[in-house]
Chain A
Amino acid sequence: MKKVKISGRVGLLGLAIGLLTGLSVATVPGDAGAWEPKKPVEFIIMAGKGGGADKAVRYMQNIIAKHKLSSKPFTPINKPGGTGAEALIYVKGAKDPDHTIMFTLNSFYTTPLRQPKIKVDISKFTPIGRMAEDTFLLWVHKDSGITNVKQFVKAAKAKGNAWIMAGTGKNSEDNLLTDFLNKAYGLNMKYVPYKGGGRVAKELAGKNANSTVNNPSEQLGFYQAGKTVPIAAFTPARLPLFADAPTFKELGKDFVYFMQRTVVGAPGMSKEAATYYRQLFAQIYGSDEWQGYMTKKSLQGGFITGDILMRYWLREKAVHKVMLQKMGALK
């Protein structure tokens, strides 16, 4: 790979050589008999463009292309409708399950629970690999002068229903965390849904919202520019990137919440195809790029796959069922 990069700098001739080298690498045949994609793979994203999930998929797509891990391209397709319902329905009914994979969030559990009408049973999906667990923090604008949860609670109480918490879609992860905060601290914040975490982060930075519960990757730019600041983390231990933000556990509220960033295969995917994708995503997980990405974006969690991943899903689904029942979203 290095050689290709350098030759590209030399000029057009170098570019042509680089292209040729690239082609020859791409045409090296794989193991005889092993399954490989026969056409472009649809990589469905359960969220809108520009959010954390979207960036992660495009990043993985680029790792695949850069290291030529697949002979066929991976095409990211955003299906953000209805907090992931659109994506779930699409993948459930995929006409070509061997070439349809999806990048999921926690709406993978919550949306089927909340919308039984869409008839999605997540245990029918094919577990490929959990790439990371994303973390959540509570963010406020720097100009608000709020630096800790105590001040936050005081300010939010004073404003009551006029305190705006921006989030991604009704009954999404952000909504769950908002409800937790409202209950735990006796607040009455108003939840306003927007399309995608990137948009939510912008609403806080532009002072159109009072607080958000964004993932680190979504707020990082505004944080570095000194516009927004995290005041607490929904993690078991403090995040290295935001060492000044205490965990809710430290503050006496035992609440830990992660968002899975997992690759799921369509129901009915063949065994051979599942094995191929598992190996592929294990390779991506192990790449320097992905590891660097995880550090930079403050992502956590190891790679899990197969039955272990399925058990993880079912456990998380049960946890979310209880949470949704508590907040009154489920009967």
Chain B
Amino acid sequence: MDILPLLLNGFAIAFEPLNLALIIGGCAIGLFIGAMPGLGSVNGVAILLPMTFLVPPTGAIIFLGAIYYGAMYGGAISSIMLGIPGASTAVATTFDGRPMAIKGEADKALIAAATASFVGGSVGVVLFTLFAPPLADVALTFGAPEIFALMLMAFATFIGLGTDDIPKTIFSIFIGLVFGAVGLDIISGEPRLIFGDIPGFYHGINFLVLAIGIYGIGEMLWTIEISKGNAMMSKATISVPRILNTLVELTRTWRTMLMGSFLGYFVGILPAAGATPGSLMAYGVAKTFAKDPETYGKGNIKGVVAPEAANNAASTGAMLPMLTLGIPGSPTTAILLGGMVIWGLEPGPMVFTDHPDFVWGFIASLYVANLFALLINIAFIPAFIAVLKMPFTILAPIIFVLCIVGGFVPTLDMHDVWLMLIFGIVGYFMRKLDYPMAPAVLAIVLGPLAEPALRQSLLISGGSFAIFFTRPYAGVIMAIAIALFVLPLIKIALDKYRRPKDG
């Protein structure tokens, strides 16, 4: 199968007037949906799915793909501007994006996010074009032991994420893991930690509820306290020379961008993982290997670049198991799958041979969507900056409403809204007492993925941990994970050894 003619044919389809219009419209809609806290690509795709019966299937998937892409770009906007993750995939972007905005560098952070998203998306779609079938085979052989090894690696990258206060970091991880364990356990079929018998806990604690609570409500309470009612937000500006300076600065982050892109893509293609762990891992890796890890979390541009490159690459990656295996790699692709079924397409191993026009038209449209999402995003940055200039007394109630909506929408359950408010208050106190939040957020995302994988693996092996080392993929990932655990310890030891010399 020669790829180039197929891809060119795909571009011919993507550039048909209707399809091009759908791409542009989809990117713009996705951008705004993604920018709303709590509303992400899942909601966008689900809401607009019925609209797609008006166009042929290829146009339909192109439209939804563009929304998906636009939402990935948009997620960064509220993470940076308001400090509230626009979508679960953009949580890691708040870690450094928000401090940048507070420093008055919101424009820089937004441009960095858009550019990194573009690079991540481009790398993802090129990898998709070239290596879809072999990568699908890799994804297929990834069983429970490999997934657990990967999750352990993600935890390892976050060892150094917290402050220097290690006990507080560990406490934060554990509280996240405990929250992640709430709900019905699929392996035993028994409910856990449901506080007596509160039905709202049966579906577990939604990760967005925690993230919006801590970062949205908690942050707002904190801002109210430190500003003491003074109308202050941040001094945001934007001008052409500033944009150019930022772009020059971004060229120096190419390594971080590529690392984020490849890591994100690879995590994205694994069924059940998706873009959220991908972006968190990219952030962790960027920090672990940085020369200046202490600047992360305080407004380092690389802390925005890494997760944004990763989440866009991962969203392309998640399309791979969807198209080739018929298994969604993320909640959004699960809904796309439903759409494909009614358009009369059966996603699965046969789709590349049975429907080449559809598949290649879609892949080509991702290239085009990526470019348009970048252009639309940059065009709107001045508008977003204007929002930041609003007095806090006006902005705070808007943020509050957006948080409530964001907490309610994913499960349509008031229980989650109350929970989110409680997390907001807890988050405020944690912040006051200087507990790091990021490890808790990481643990609540990765815990529910890691735990069943660990138990499935041990069930398969009959209780032997050797299963994580004797399988080729799992073994390699485990070795990396262990190295990542040990690395910070060596660093600390070296620092201690060197310090007396300096003094």
Contact = CB atoms under 8 A, between A and B. Distances in A.
Contact of A194 (B189, B349, B456): B456
B331 A49 contact: yes
Interface residues of B, number: 55
B204 interface: yes
Contacts of A192: 144, 456, 459-460
Interface stretch (B53-61, B170-178, B300-308): B53-61
Contact of A22 (B54, B342, B411): B54
Contact of A89 (B56, B202, B337): B202
B465 interface: no
B17 interface: yes
Interface string B456-482: 100110100000000000000000000
Contacts of A208: 141, 143-144, 460
Nearest to A42: B412
A55 B331 CA distance: 13
A11 B202 CA distance: 47
Interface string B341-352: 110001111100
A202 B350 contact: no
A208 to B, nearest CB: 3
Interface stretch (A127-135, A221-229, A244-252): A221-229
B460 A222 contact: no
B326 interface: yes
Interface residues of A, number: 66
A221 B202 contact: no
A11 B18 contact: yes
Contacts, number: 175
A62 interface: yes
B495 interface: no
Interface in A181-233: 190, 192-195, 198-199, 201-203, 205-208, 220-222, 224-225, 227
Residue picked from A81, A190, A199, most chain B C-beta under 10 Å: A81
A90 B348 contact: no
A49 B328 contact: yes
A93 B198 CA distance: 11
A62 B185 CA distance: 31
A12 B20 CA distance: 10
B438 interface: no
A82 B342 contact: no
Contacts of A62: 49-50, 53, 338-339, 341-342
B19 to A, nearest CB: 10
B199 A164 contact: no
Given A61-B338, A89-B199, A89-B202, A170 B346 contact: no
Interface string A15-53: 100110010000000000000000000100000011000
B417 to A, nearest CB: 14
Given A62-B50, A75-B412, A199-B272, A221 B325 contact: yes
Given A42-B412, A206-B142, A170 B189 contact: yes
Contacts of B341: 55, 58-59, 62
B381 interface: no
Contact of B18 (A12, A58, A115, A170): A12
A63 interface: yes
Contacts of A193: 186-187, 456
A205 B141 CA distance: 8
A303 to B, nearest CB: 20
B143 A224 contact: no
B183 interface: yes
B203 interface: yes
A326 interface: no
A268 interface: no
Contacts of A225: 348-350
Contact of B347 (A65, A66, A199, A221): A221
Nearest to A60: B342
A59 B143 contact: no
A65 B60 CA distance: 15
Given A81-B184, A190-B459, A289-B342, A221 B349 contact: yes
Nearest to B202: A86
A85 interface: yes
Nearest to A208: B143
A304 interface: no
Interface string B425-469: 000000000000000000000000000100010011010000000
Interface string B83-126: 00000000000000000000000000000000000000000000
A81 B181 CA distance: 12
A314 to B, nearest CB: 23
Nearest to B53: A66
A282 B388 CA distance: 53
27 contacts: A5-B53, A11-B18, A11-B21, A18-B54, A50-B327, A59-B342, A61-B338, A62-B53, A62-B342, A66-B50, A73-B50, A75-B46, A79-B203, A81-B184, A81-B204, A82-B191, A85-B184, A85-B191, A90-B199, A190-B462, A199-B271, A199-B272, A201-B327, A206-B141, A220-B346, A221-B325, A222-B349
Interface of B: 17-18, 21, 46, 49-50, 53-56, 59, 140-144, 183-191, 199, 202-204, 271-272, 325-328, 331, 334-335, 337-339, 341-342, 346-350, 411-412, 452, 456, 459-460, 462
Given A49-B334, A65-B53, A115-B189, 7 more contacts: A63-B342, A79-B203, A89-B202, A193-B456, A198-B326, A221-B325, A221-B349
The 9 closest A-B pairs by CB, nearest first: A221-B348, A58-B338, A225-B349, A82-B184, A208-B143, A81-B184, A65-B50, A62-B342, A49-B334
